[in-house]
Structure 1
Amino acid sequence: MNTQSKPLAKEAAGTADERVPISRPAVLFGPMNQPVSDLRGLRIWLVGASSGIGAELARQALQAGARVALSARRADVLQEVAAAHKNAFIAPLDVLCHDAWRDQHARIVEAFGGIDLLVFCAAKYRPERTWEVQEDEAEHTLRTNVASVYSALGAALPDMLARGSGGIALVASVAGYVGLPGATVYGPGKAALINLAEILYSDLRPKGLNVYLINPGFVKTDLTDKNDFPMPAIQTPQQAATAIWRGISEGRFEIHFPRRFTAWLKILRLLPFRLRFMLFQRFMLS
C-alpha cells in the first residue's frame, strides 16, 4: 500500500504473478493484506476527517509522520483538526458532489505525488424505527453512506490499479451485522458496505491492492450522542483510531472492536432468525 515502506515497495517491484497471494497457502494463516509497519511517509486521503473517528485517525496518522489529505465539507473545521501540521493537506469535499471527488483527487495527487491509502469514514446517522422513516432523509443517508463510496472509488482506483499498489479502507459498523431495531436506514447502508468490502477484496487484492473493512462498535461521537439507549463497551474516538491503525499495521481485512462486544454480535448473526428475534424482543425492545 505504501510505495515508500519497504515491504510494500518490495511487493510493488515484483511481477504480476508475485503480487497475487490469494491462492497461496500462507493466506490461510497469515495476514490477508500486506502489513504496514510504519505510517511515516504514507500518503493518506481521509474522507470524513472533521470529527469523531475520522478526525482522530487524521491526528494519529499525522503524529506518526504520514502525509494526510483531510476531506469534509467545512474547511475551517479541517484546519482545526490539522492544527497547522506541515504534512496535512486540506481538501474540502461534499461527498454528494460527484465532480468534486475528481477535482480533489487531482489536487491531492499534485501535492503528494499519489495516494497510498483512501479511508472512507463519512457517515450520516439518525436513530429511527420503521414508522419514523422520512423518505427524503433516508435517501440522503444512503447517498452519503453508500452511493458516495462509488464516487470515491471512481476517483482513486484508476491510479492505484495502474501502479498495482494502494489501499481502500471502508468504515462500516457492527450495525451492518444484523438488523438491529432503530438502525432502519443506517444499518442496511452499513450492511451494504460490508458486502462491498468483500467484493473489493476479491477483485482488488489479486491486483496488488489492500482492502480493509472496519466495523466499530459504539464510539462516543456526535452520531452516537443521538442514541437514548445504553451502549455497551462504548469507546472513545482515540481508542477507535488506535484499533484501526493497529489492524492496518497487522494486515487484517476486517478490523472490528471492541472484541468483547463485537464477538457477541458475530454470534448473534449465526443464530436462527426465530431465536434472534426472540432475543431482540427480550433485551432490546422491552
Structure 2
Amino acid sequence: MFRAGGGAMGWLGRLNTPITNWLGQRVWIVGASSGIGAALAAELNARGARLALSARSGGRLRELARGFDEALVLPLDVTDSGAFTLAMLQILDAWGGVDVVILSAGTYMPMRAWDLTVDTARQTVHTNLLGVVDGVAAVVPQLLRQQGGAIAIVGGAAGYRGLPEALAYGPSKAALINFAETLYLELAPHGVSVFLINPGFVATPRLMACVDFEMPALVGAPDAARQIIEGMARGRFEIHFPRRFTLMLKLLRCLPYRIYFRVAARSGVRRSDG
C-alpha cells in the first residue's frame, strides 16, 4: 500500500503520490471489460498488480481474467446504486483493503438538440456521472481508514467546453471534472490521491461504432493505458492526452464565447471520448 503526502505542505507541494511500482498493488478496475479499462487491466497485470475486474458483462470479464495470473471477477452494473457496496465487501473479504480504484465505465450516445430525450440523457448521466459517484461513495470510507490509497476517474476532454453531438455526454464529463477537483480538495489532506483522466479520442469499440467522421489525434486503448500509468507515476492530478489535441481544447476553453462559438462551428472538432 502507498500513502499520499499528508498535511498542507505535503499535498500542495506534490499533487499526488506517484505510483511507480505496481507489484502487489490491489487495484479495482470498474469498466474493465473493454476499451481503456481492459487495456489498463492487461498492462497492470503485466506489472504485477493484483486485480479486481468489474463491468456489466461477466462473460467478458472471465475471458479477460483467464489471461491473468489471478484476478477477482466482480460483475456489476454502475447504474445499480447498491452494486458497488456489495463488490467492495467482496474485495475486503478477499484482500482486506484496496490500494487503487479506477473508475472507467462510461457510455456515449450522439445527441443533438433535435434528438434530445430525457430518457437517453438520463441514461448517459447515470452511467457517466452517478455511477462514478456511487463508486467513490463505496470506497472512500475504506481509503480513509487506511489513511492512503488512490481514486482514478476517467472523465474526458469533451468536458472542457460544449461541443456538437455531445448534448448529454459533454455535460456528464464536465460534471466529472468538477467532481474530481472537489474530491481532491477533500481527500488529499487525508493522504488519499485523486487522479483525473481526460482522454481525447480513444479507439474503443463503443466510439468506433458511433462515429462516422475522422477523429483527430486518435490513439489506441493500449497507448492510452500506458499514458495513464505514466501520468500516475508522475503524481499528476490531471492526466490528459494526446496533448497536441487536449491542449488545443484547453486553449479553446479560455476563449470568450463570441470567439469560441465561431471557432467551434467552423472547426472539425466535435467531441472527444473518455
TM-score range, shorter chain: over 0.9
- Partner residue of 1:279? 263
Q: Which amino acid aligns with 2:63?
A: E
**Is 2:190 the partner of 1:207?**
yes
Q: Which amino acid aligns with 1:193?
A: L
Q: Displacement of 1:98 after TM fit?
A: 1.6
2:240 alignment partner, one of 249, 256, 269? 256
- Partner residue of 2:40? 57
- Over residues 191-214 of structure 1, what are the superposed CA-to-partner deviations in whole Å (9 max), with x where a residue is unaligned? 000000000110000000000000
**Is 2:205 the partner of 1:218?**
no
1:162 alignment partner, one of 142, 145, 166? 145
- Structure 2 counterpart SS, 1:261: helix
- Equivalences for residues 57-206 of structure 1 within 5 A: 57-206=40-189
- Partner residue of 1:19? 6
- Structure 1 counterpart SS, 2:53: strand
Distance 1:247 1:23, change over 3 A: same
Distance 1:272 1:47, change over 3 A: same
Q: Displacement of 1:285 after TM fit?
A: 8.8
**1:62 & 1:209 partners in 2: Cα distance?**
23
**Is 2:17 the partner of 1:34?**
yes
State the TM-score, normalized to the length of structure 2: 0.94
Q: Displacement of 1:249 after TM fit?
A: 1.1
State the TM-score, normalized to the length of structure 1: 0.90
**2:240 & 2:268 partners in 1: Cα distance?**
22
Q: Displacement of 1:128 after TM fit?
A: 1.6
Q: Displacement of 1:223 after TM fit?
A: 2.3
What is the count of residue pairs matched by the alignment?
A: 269
Q: Displacement of 1:284 after TM fit?
A: 3.9
Contact 1:256 1:262 in 2 (8 A): yes
The structure that has the greater radius of gyration is 1
**1:95 & 1:176 partners in 2: Cα distance?**
20
Q: Which amino acid aligns with 1:262?
A: T
Runs of 4+ more than 4 Å apart: none
- Partner residue of 1:235? 219
Q: How high is the sequence identity, in percent, across the aligned residues? A: 44
- Over residues 40-65 of structure 1, what are the superposed CA-to-partner deviations in whole Å (9 max), with x where a residue is unaligned? 11101100000000100011111110
- Structure 1 counterpart SS, 2:172: helix
Q: Which amino acid aligns with 1:35?
A: P
**2:265 & 2:17 partners in 1: Cα distance?**
42
Superposed CA RMSD: 1.6
Structure 2, unaligned stretches of length 5 or more? none
Structure 1, unaligned stretches of length 5 or more? 12-17
Contact 1:43 1:67 in 2 (8 A): yes
- Structure 2 counterpart SS, 1:269: helix
Contact 1:119 1:168 in 2 (8 A): yes
